[in-house]
Amino acid sequence: MSEMEIIQALERLLPTEKIMSDARDLIEECEYQFDFDEDGLVSIPVDVELIFISKSALYTPFDVHFGTGYKSIVAVGNVRQYDLHISDLAADYGFITLWYNRDAKIITTDVMQKLFR
């Protein structure tokens, strides 16, 4: 399977539009506040830019962690240090990791200030 076929399959199984909508809904549900770095709540503007970073399919033959499903990462705010040769990314506010089950339903989410690849 080529890289393009993998990308197309992932897009069919978990559309980027759904990920972005889920991230926006999560921000709204949290009343535009997150604790990205354990220093307290950070207020996020209602019209904050969200930037799609990645999505991946996960397969586990055993019922471990979240099992078979998907993982996606979205930046909240503008991304800095975005270079394929630099191993870390920073965003204006932070990053949201969305974990999905095999049916593309959200299982849980994580937030972090920096993203280390």
**Do 89 and 80 form a contact (C-beta atoms < 8 A)?**
yes
| 19-50 confidence digits (pLDDT tens) | 999 999 999 999 999 887 767 788 999 999 99
Instruction: Please give the residue that has the higher pLDDT: either 62 or 83.
Output: 62
Report how far residue 113's alpha carbon sits from residue 75's, in angstroms, rounded to the nearest whole number: 10
**Taking the model in full, what pTM does it have?**
0.88
Query: DSSP label at 87?
Result: S
| 72-117 confidence digits (pLDDT tens) | 999 999 988 755 566 678 889 999 999 999 999 999 999 988 776 5
Strand pairing category for 106-116 and 88-101: antiparallel
Residue 27 in 3-state DSSP? Answer: helix
Report how far residue 90's alpha carbon sits from residue 99's, in angstroms, rounded to the nearest whole number: 20
Q: Tell me, what's the pLDDT at 76?
A: 95
Select from 51, 53, 27, 52 the least CA-distant residue to 41: 27
